[in-house]
Amino acid sequence: MLAKLVSMSVALECSAILECVAVWIMKHRSSLQDILDLIQAIIHDYCVLVPTSLPALESMVKHSALLASQFLTAVTLLYPMYKPKSQDEEMSAEDFDTEQSCLPPQSLLKLVANWITSQPGISLTPYPQTLAMLPNCRAPNQDMGVPAPTAPTSKLPLTPILGLVRWSILGPLCFLMRHHAQTSDQHKETMLVFSQLQYGVLQTFLTAKKQREEKDQESEIEPGEVMEEELDFRSLVTIHDLRGICMELLDIIKELPNEVPVELKDELVQVAVDRLAQIIQVAKSTDCLSGRKSEFSFIYPNLPRTRLLNLVLQSR
């Protein structure tokens, strides 16, 4: 019923209900599967069942930035682009369907790219602290805390940035691996969308720096005024996060089908590594990357090197 209500609210552009759903998601972040099921139902309605209604979903970002940010976060979890397969196993039809399900629909991919390029601050949408005081029907307000790295239960991340970084780096190769029979025009269109996505990710880091500088220039808050909960901009991406992405990148390179032309494979591998280098450079320069670049060079000796990556790792 909740999925139907949200889907109808998206179609009717009902900001009040969309904001209420955003509050519900934030206060029940530990109920990850419930949230993913809700977002999956919305995607099915607008991208699969009635694709002509996609403009209504695209406009959701104008009516509830907080819900749009949570939508992006859930989407990157629903479609991780890549899941490693077990060693020495033949790929069954079921396995192939599972790998196909890791890729988002083309229309959804375009929507995500359009959102973060037109509004790069959407991934940094803060959760109003006043809403944190509302009662939680399941548990105390402990859900509002940032989850500890060793937390036993999975929670919806506070920001979609890491998921979008994975999409930008791994996406082109994953689409090539699953759709290597695409026509030249289809391939170019997909690559353009991923280029747009990469641009949006880099713009997000720059926006984070701008927001932090503006906050530092603000005057002190008035007595009784409540500040909004803020993201830790210095931990938007960590070296540990990038390590996991690089390990997956190496696995993808090994699994690329033989039907893929060598020239195309080498080109997309270089694109992936260069985008990784761009993210390291921009995230580090905007103080959004925790960890030292020297740690990166030490941990990933097997990663293909490009001129850009070498320059980034050698710079201070």
Question: Quick count: other Cβ atoms within 10 Å of Cβ 134?
Answer: 12
Note the pLDDT of residue 218.
63
88-143 pLDDT per residue, tens: 445 454 554 455 589 999 999 999 999 999 999 999 988 765 555 555 555 544 44
Note the pLDDT of residue 299.
64
Q: Which residues are CB-neighbours of 180 under 8 A, at least 6 positions away?
A: 257, 259, 260
What is each CA distance from 29 to 24, 77, 146, 157, 158, in whole angstroms?
Answer: 8, 13, 10, 8, 9
List the one residue out of 166, 171, 164 whose CA is nearest residue 68: 164
What percentage of the chain's residues is helix, strand, coil (to nearest 5)? 70, 0, 30
Q: For residues 240 and 299, is the Cβ–Cβ distance under 8 A?
A: no
Q: Per-residue pLDDT for the chain (316 aa), expressed as one digit of tens each? A: 889 999 999 999 999 999 999 999 988 889 999 999 999 999 999 999 999 999 999 999 999 999 999 999 999 999 999 987 754 445 454 554 455 589 999 999 999 999 999 999 999 988 765 555 555 555 544 444 444 444 445 889 989 999 999 999 999 999 988 876 677 888 899 999 999 999 999 999 999 999 888 877 665 555 555 444 456 677 799 988 998 999 999 999 999 888 888 999 999 999 999 999 999 999 999 999 988 766 776 667 788 889 998 888 887 6
Q: What tokens appear for 48 in the block?
A: 């699969």
List the one residue out of 239, 230, 252, 246 whose CA is nearest residue 280: 239
229-260 pLDDT per residue, tens: 456 677 799 988 998 999 999 999 999 888 88
DSSP 226: -
Q: Which residues are CB-neighbours of 189 under 8 A, at least 6 positions away?
A: none
Q: Which residues are CB-neighbours of 20 under 8 A, at least 6 positions away?
A: none
Note the pLDDT of residue 257.
87
Q: What CA–CA distance (Å, rounded) separates 26 from 12?
A: 23
Note the pLDDT of residue 221.
54
> CA-CA-CA-CA torsion for 119, 206, 161, 251, nearest 10 degrees?
120
Note the pLDDT of residue 133.
54
* Beta bridge partners of residue 289, listed in sequence order: 237
Note the pLDDT of residue 132.
53
User: Which amino acid type is present at position 207?
Assistant: T
For the chain, the C-alpha Rg in angstroms (whole number) is: 20
Q: Which residues are CB-neighbours of 116 under 8 A, at least 6 positions away?
A: 72, 122, 123, 164, 197, 200, 201, 203, 204
Q: What CA–CA distance (Å, rounded) separates 220 from 299?
A: 43
User: Which amino acid type is present at position 274?
Assistant: D
